[in-house]
Amino acid sequence: MPDDAFTFRPVTDADLPFVLACQTSDAAAPWFAPLTLDQARARFGDRLAGRSPIRMVIAHVRGRDAGYAQLYRVGDLPTDGFIPADARDVGLDYCLAGDLVGQGLGTPFVASLVGLASWLFPDAPGAVACPDHRNRASIAVLERAGFTAGLWFDTPGPAGGSITEIAYRRAIPAAEY
């Protein structure tokens, strides 16, 4: 297996401190509201227990936990999580561990997530990710992973108020069995 091949496993409660560490790295802090462990349990508990349509996974590469991601059908999101994409598309959120940011891992991470999305949701026509329009690192990896920019839209921001995100989409070819 090449060095930068990502694998994934479901997030458990024991992973939440790692998830929070990912969210508070210098690269991630502008895009996430800081959470305590108790707040994270309240926010993510249903996802970890399989009671939410949002699936959380730990990403593994180079022999270590490397980040986490979320995958969900766009149409399964609550209306306050609106994303301008096909309801059957798979939404992706992703975050590398801070010490791995800036090493070129972002593109294989996102490309591997598209593969996971097509495995979890075989009839999904596309994958979509919605970076803040100022998130140049995320936009660069999405473009390198074959995504193209669609609508710009306003959504509630991590620090209150609203932020402007861009819906980046990539078609997922129909699976051949």
- Reduced to 3 states (helix: H, G, I; strand: E, B; else coil), residue 43 is helix
Length, in residues, of the chain: 177
Which one-letter amino acid corresponds to residue 66? A
Q: How far is CA 115 from CA 3, 25, 125, 159, 164, in A?
A: 17, 26, 12, 32, 27
According to CB under 6 A, which residues from 28 to 67 bind ligand COA? 28, 31
Choice between 141 and 172, CB closer to ligand COA: 141
Using only C-alpha atoms, what is the Rg of the chain?
15
Stretch that binds ligand COA, among 4-12, 24-32, 38-46, 51-59 (CB under 6 A): 24-32
User: Of 94, 112, 114, 172, which lies in the binding site for ligand COA, with binding defined by CB under 6 A?
Assistant: 94
- Structure token digits, residue 111: 């490309």
107 is a contact residue toward ligand COA (CB under 6 A): yes
Binding ligand COA (rule: CB under 6 A), the pick from 104, 115, 122, 156 is 104
Contact 6, 112 (CB under 8 A): yes
Q: By CB under 6 A, name the one of 106, 121, 124, 127 that touches ligand COA.
A: 106
Among 136, 148, 151, 162, binds ligand COA (CB under 6 A): 136
Which 8-state DSSP code applies to residue 142? H
# residues near ligand COA by CB under 6 A: 23
Please say which residue, 112 or 176, places its beta carbon nearer to ligand COA: 112
**Identity of residue 58:** I
Residues engaged in binding ligand COA (CB under 6 A): 27-28, 31, 93-96, 101-107, 109, 129, 131, 135-138, 140-141
